[in-house]
Amino acid sequence: MKGLDPMDLRILSLLQENARFTNKEIAAHIGMTTTPVYERIKRLEENGYIRQYVALLDRAKVGLSLVAFCNVQLKEHSRPFLVQFEQEVRSLPQVIECYHIAGMFDYLLKVIAINMTAYQDFIVNKLAVLENIGNVQSSFVMTEIKHSTALPLE
């Protein structure tokens, strides 16, 4: 990976595992002293390898039990319509991921809701009212087999 040495990759892997590791704990894991670890992490942050630190919540414990993937097809594909759709989707808190995709559909949305009633309300009152929506097809998660936020660095 461009600009990263093996120690950088180890630091990034550890931070993906637990962003609350202290510099001292990371240094102990990789066999370095604290100061060079601190300097490397600062450099990784400044160069944009580390965008932010977040807390990952347990979806079920906060009452968001329904996960749906929405395939969205637009009526019109000119740039202004694409930009408008993307801006509008960014404002919908239920959409936690959105991808512009190739194939039969234009966008793939990952949507989180409390239950099917809340999801139906989202579709009818939030998504379907957006200009230029042509077709929406939903798939619902029955069992989550794997969910990871860690990027494969090695």
Count of domains forming the chain: 2
Tell me the CATH number at 39: 1.10.10.10
Residue ranges making up the domain that contains 86: 66-140
Same domain (yes/no): 24, 79: no
Average pLDDT value for residue range 146-150 = 93
**Could you read off the pLDDT of 93-143 as tens digits, one per residue?**
999 999 999 999 999 999 999 999 999 999 999 999 999 999 999 999 999
pTM here? 0.89
Percent of the chain with pLDDT over 70: 99
- The answer to whether residue 11 is domain-embedded is yes
| 133 CB burial (10 A radius; 0-12, 13-18, 19+) | middle
**Cα dihedral value 116, 137, 91, 63, nearest 10:** 20
CATH number for position 84: 3.30.70.920
At 1 the pLDDT is: 64
